[in-house]
Amino acid sequence: MAEELIISTSTDKQQRYETLVPQIEALVSGEPDVVANLSNIAAALKQTLNFLWAGFYLVKDNQLVLGPFQGPIACTRINFGKGVCGTSWKEKKTIIVPDVDAFPGHIACSSASKSEIVLPAFKNGEVFLVLDVDSDKLNDFDETDERYLTQVMQIIQRFI
């Protein structure tokens, strides 16, 4: 079945998210396959919000392992507590980085990345995966991104 995304033409980030989040909910509704759902969510985020990179790292054997994503090639494995993704996993919280070059221990998977937001999703109280979103602009993420991407993570937590 073909899916089509209705993308807001607004330049307002909040309006784009408000259009996108219900579509993500509908897109994954009734689909039990985690990889299929994460793949579509990564594509929807990148397509709607024009991020440099949007994707997932899944916890496997005490490492974050690259999952579905959209954008340039990425780091395949990230250790616990390393980089922004590993730190989000370790601290079990969302991290917004306005300038990745100023983040101690940042892992530069792409030299084009300038700012980043990483959010964890939980299963049985433990981090199951993280959503990593990169921008090629400095200070591109804020409370609006955190609020709406948290809603996306709540959708994800229902099917993982």
Alpha-carbon distance of 41 to 157, in angstroms, equals 13
Alpha-carbon distance of 106 to 88, in angstroms, equals 12
Alpha-carbon distance of 63 to 18, in angstroms, equals 33
**Domains of the chain by start residue, with CATH:** 13-159 (3.30.450.40)
Can you give the pTM of this predicted structure?
0.94
Q: Is the pLDDT of residue 105 over 90?
A: no
- Measure Cα distances from 23 to 28, 78, 145 in Å: 9, 30, 17
Whether 149 and 131 have beta carbons less than 8 Å apart is answered as yes
Alpha-carbon distance of 41 to 56, in angstroms, equals 10
Over the stretch 18-43, which tens digit does the pLDDT of each residue have?
Answer: 999 999 999 999 999 999 999 999 99
Number of Cβ within a 10 Å radius of residue 101: 11
Over the stretch 116-159, which tens digit does the pLDDT of each residue have?
Answer: 999 999 999 999 999 999 999 999 999 999 999 999 999 999 99
